[in-house]
Amino acid sequence: MPNLLEQLRKFTVVVADTGDLEAMEKFHPQDATTNPSLITTVAQMPQYQPVVDGVLKDARNELGEGATDQAVANLAFQRLAIAFGKKILAIVPGRVSTEVDARLSYDTEASIKQARSIIAQYDAAGIGRDRVLVKIASTWEGFRAAEVLEKDGIHCNMTLLFGMHQAIAAADAGVTLISPFVGRILDWYKKDTGKDYTGADDPGVQSVTTIYNYYKKFGYKTQVMGASFRNIGEITELAGCDLLTIAPKLLAELDSKEEDLPRKLDPARAASMNIERLTIDKATFDRMHAADRMAHDKLKEGIEGFSKALEDLEKLLAMRLAELSEKQAVAAH
């Protein structure tokens, strides 16, 4: 019997949720996603130090010797995710997701500007737009940015998505893909209720199932990519979802288990369901977001967490740059 991972690939695109290139080479995912926390983790691994040092060197050359270490570190910080993105695209046949600075999550214009900068850097490296998804947080301002970018042919992946109101706003904006966070939804409910959930009772699984069925019922082009899994039970319950982005540890677990995997999500079944269509304007979005404690809490927490990871990464790059400058000074003497 084929293992769970092989069966899952028959009806779901498997994506690697990591910045670790070695893990990608092992599991051969179609696509890969990164986020600030993953990039910060990978940037500290010894085997990727040459990537970090290369980005710092390029930033120094671009700004000139007179530039401060802080200015060089800031530029390198913007380039690092793209440096990893380019290496990832040498391994995966599909797309990479590269994230807009989480600190811009409530600024539509700044998000658009940075997304265009990300795409310009991939363009300069000869990488087509069909291979890059720009990740933007699922705020109302983020959806407005994505709407503009999609019209320009820049494909967006809406991240930190927890509620139906966010999913509908994303689809109405014409975004390419959404990433509902299954495990983080589960975390919130476990903490709020003190109960544990498994299988189809998992609130994160239920949320993604509802969103998937809504999209397929009304013929939206936006794809659903379940993300942030805590266990393989969540993954097997979402077999048939358009895409699932899975951490290496859980990919290994799926790869090692041989049991039957039935398809759980199916567009044909969704098309026959009795589902009410909703219209989401800003007032409705704000009202639904305030009423959904879980989505409200997890979006805020997610943006704050990614912002902190970016600050940690900036500090890490500044420290590494100081070390390199010191080595150069010693060598010069």
> Distance of alpha carbon 79 from its chain centroid, rounded?
17
Dist. CA 150–CA 218, nearest whole Å = 20
Could you give the CA distance from residue 45 to residue 54 in angstroms, rounded to a whole number?
A: 15
CA atoms within 13 A on the CB side of 288: 18
* Partners of 144 in the β-ladder: none
234: Cα within 13 Å, side-chain hemisphere = 30
Point out the catalytic residue in the list 26, 87, 135, 190: 135
Task: Report the C-alpha gap between 19 and 37 in whole angstroms.
Answer: 9
Q: Is the dihedral of CA 176, 181, 182, 183 positive or negative?
A: positive
Q: What are phi and psi of 185, to 5 degrees?
A: -65, -45
Residue appearing with tokens 């997701």: 97
Please give the helix or strand (H or E) that residue 314 lies within, else none.
helix 293-332
207: tokens are 């949320």
Length of the chain: 333
Question: What is the three-class DSSP state of 232?
Answer: helix
> Annotated catalytic, 135?
yes
**Helix or strand or coil: residue 225?**
strand
Active site positions, annotated? 135
